Amino acid sequence: MTRREDRLHPSGKEDLGDRRPPGRRDRDRILYSSAFRRLAGITQVVSATDRLPIHNRLTHTLEVAQIGRSLAEELQRSAPDPEQLNVLGGLDPDVVEAACLAHDLGHPPFGHVAEEELDRLMQEHGVNDGFEGNPQTFRILTRLAVRYPGIEGLDLTRATLCAVLKYPWTRGTTGTGEKARKWGAYPSEDAVFRWARQLVPGLGERKCLEAELMDWADDVAYAVHDVEDFYRAGLIPLDKIANDDQERARFIGDELDRNAKLSAAYGADELAAAFNEIMAIAPIPEPYRGNREGRARLRSFTSSLVDRYVKAVSLDTDDAGNPTLTIDQEARKEVAMLKGLTWQYVIESPALITQRYGHKRLIRSLFDTLCDAGTAKQDRRVFPEFYRELLGESPDDATILRTVADLIASMTESQVVALHHRLTGIAFGSTLDPILP
């Protein structure tokens, strides 16, 4: 067994008669977890309950996993020196796929607006490590999910836990700025975080290779398939953007104004040129009508984009001669601008802005209600049994707050609405209704 295959709780029992490689067992443990199934009820961009067949967080995750595996296999084929892969932590398509399947497990109901609101509420109540989807994912994998009695988490290999760490640092060690807003583990999981990162002691705060591939797969899936969704729904006028110079120039100008950080990183002219190149090959002459020809054109376009971005990765060396993953700069620019289409035409629309405001208020109200209930033993019975076990007999304030955040982040959006209505008396429901598993 290699360091990559180490588990914190190796019993050996699961290996009897099981010929699956360790990374594949990790993948399957994630795939069959209740935390993974929950993603079917979580927003990707718009509500998971919308009538149109828009991606939810589960279908997005499955596509990320497919792209991630393709990236890993492409890199294995093209890497000039396999030993370079080991310097970056190693490369196993099963592990990359597992990390992709896990990457959004900690994503709370209603997306980033709930993530930001939970973080604000936790910090207001004195829990400085707050809330963020990435450390919540790590917490689920290593503490909250259940695979064996008496063992916390899914007991994944060191390689898979390292590959999940898109932001391989903790909030309390990096000061302010970007690293204070995105991080990989809470202090409560710091020991497991450090154990996982022992796989790549020479990388500092750089992601391991498998985490980099997971991250790029996520960007590609978001950029390509969300644009496909909202062109089909009539919200992104892809035909006009592809064929009307004025509409395309308006979008480019607005996006570069909105995303000043992107403009500073790549340059406005270079981003405009990259987007123009993509639109020049887009076979989208008219609004989406749903006929056979239109469907085939759209599928051909999105498939060609995914193939283009899978082939954009290669292994190179940096100025010091160390191996590093390289993602073609033109591909990065194109993906960034494609993501901007969804922001401009969908996320920033008045319909979603007003929904997000309501989501924030609902999360705040449910959080406050559950925190109040957590302070009294009699009222703690409103918590599902698993979360009462987490609270214990005499929880302190920090334990109550963290458990409330865990509970909210474990629910689907319809469960959040139903529980909030029940606890606040808006709609009592039936006495026969189940109150969360």
pLDDT for 305-322, tens place per residue? 999 999 999 988 887 778
CA distance 293 to 104: 34
79 within a domain of the structure (yes/no): yes
214 within a domain of the structure (yes/no): no
Mean pLDDT of 406-424: 93
Domain ends where: 346, 372, 394?
Answer: 346
Domain count, the chain: 3
Let me know: does 189 contact 142? Beta carbons within 8 Å: yes
pLDDT at residue 66 above 60? yes
433 within a domain of the structure (yes/no): no
Quick one: 229 and 187 in the same domain? no
Amino acid identity, residue 19? R
pLDDT at residue 82 above 80? no
Quick one: 318 and 384 in the same domain? no
CATH at 14: 1.10.3210.10
372 within a domain of the structure (yes/no): yes
Let me know: does 158 contact 3? Beta carbons within 8 Å: yes
Q: What is the pLDDT of residues 127-176, one digit of tens each?
A: 999 999 999 999 999 999 998 888 999 999 999 999 999 999 998 654 55
The model's confidence at residue 13, banded by pLDDT at 50, 70 and 90, is: low
Q: How far is CA 393 from the centre of its chain?
A: 34
As given in the structure block, the two tokens for residue 294 are 């239109």
The model's confidence at residue 50, banded by pLDDT at 50, 70 and 90, is: low
249 within a domain of the structure (yes/no): yes
Quick one: 63 and 85 in the same domain? yes
Quick one: 23 and 133 in the same domain? yes
Mean pLDDT of 190-215: 94
The CA-based angle 417-364-351, given to 5 degrees, is: 65
Q: Which domain holds residue 375?
A: 351-424
Quick one: 340 and 362 in the same domain? no
Let me know: does 85 contact 210? Beta carbons within 8 Å: no
Quick one: 48 and 194 in the same domain? yes
Quick one: 56 and 180 in the same domain? yes
Quick one: 166 and 70 in the same domain? yes
Quick one: 23 and 103 in the same domain? yes
Quick one: 112 and 34 in the same domain? yes
Residue 52, pLDDT score: 61
Residue 15, pLDDT score: 58
Q: What is the pLDDT of residues 319-328, one digit of tens each?
A: 777 888 999 9
Quick one: 396 and 252 in the same domain? no
Quick one: 242 and 194 in the same domain? no
Domain ends where: 300, 323, 346?
Answer: 346
Beta-strand ranges (E) seen in 250-388 are: 313-317, 323-327
Domain ends where: 145, 170, 203?
Answer: 203
pLDDT at residue 1 above 70? no
Least confident of 78-82, 238-242, 263-267: 78-82
